[in-house]
Amino acid sequence: MKKFAVKGFITLVAVIAFAILGVTAGHTTAHADSSDDASFSTVLSTAKSKLGKPYAWGATGPSSFDCSGFTSYVYKKATGITIPRTAQAQYNAYKHVKGSAVKKGDLIFFGGSTSSISHVGLYIGKGKMIDAQNRGVITESIYASWWHKVGYAHVTDLSD
């Protein structure tokens, strides 16, 4: 009986710990732990400071990046927000917005469909994004012929 009570207590502690850490069924939840003064200008200057850095699959910076490593790095450094690590997880974590409602600082996603996101970039306005890809961190058109745009997601409200 004592063994059963100990196992039950350990299970209860584990459940509480997972709930506190925001872990559900093996998936971490996206944090919005930023201050209220997050601005697009800070996000943009952080992103621009990495222009020219090389692409490396799985890299999260600061000297090289893959696409989702770049967006994760920029949001964490510029706003304090921890966003999910992969492009698909980033797409799944946030409210989707239409192209007509996209704002500077939103994420833009590319791939085969909403369930096969393969690339993410940071929308900077006027049909442009900053992203990390095989040519490194660059600014380019979101309408480039090699991208199949799947959608946009809004991470947080940013002041101008």
Kindly name the residue from 27, 33, 37, 119 that is annotated as catalytic. Answer: 119
Task: State the residue range of the domain holding 49.
Answer: 40-154
Structure token pair of residue 58: 């799985």
| Known active-site residue 37 | no
Give domain status of residue 72, yes or no: yes
Give domain status of residue 150, yes or no: yes
| Known active-site residue 106 | no
Q: How far apart are the first and last CA of the chain?
A: 62
- Per-residue pLDDT, 92: 97
Residue 52 is part of a domain; what is its CATH number?
Answer: 3.90.1720.10
Provide the number of structural domains found in the chain: 1
Give domain status of residue 120, yes or no: yes
Confidence bin at 12 (pLDDT 50/70/90): very low
- Per-residue pLDDT, 38: 85
| C-alpha to C-alpha distance for 136 and 12, rounded to whole angstroms | 47
Owner of token pair 């890299």: 59
Give domain status of residue 78, yes or no: yes
Confidence bin at 20 (pLDDT 50/70/90): very low
Give domain status of residue 119, yes or no: yes
Q: What are the tens digits of pLDDT across the range 81-135? A: 999 999 999 999 999 999 999 999 999 999 999 999 999 999 999 999 999 999 9
More confident residue, 38 or 5: 38
Prediction pTM value: 0.78
Give domain status of residue 92, yes or no: yes
| Known active-site residue 66 | no
Give domain status of residue 23, yes or no: no
Helices 67-79 and 40-48 cross at an angle (nearest 10°) of 130
Kindly name the residue from 27, 131, 148, 154 that is annotated as catalytic. Answer: 131
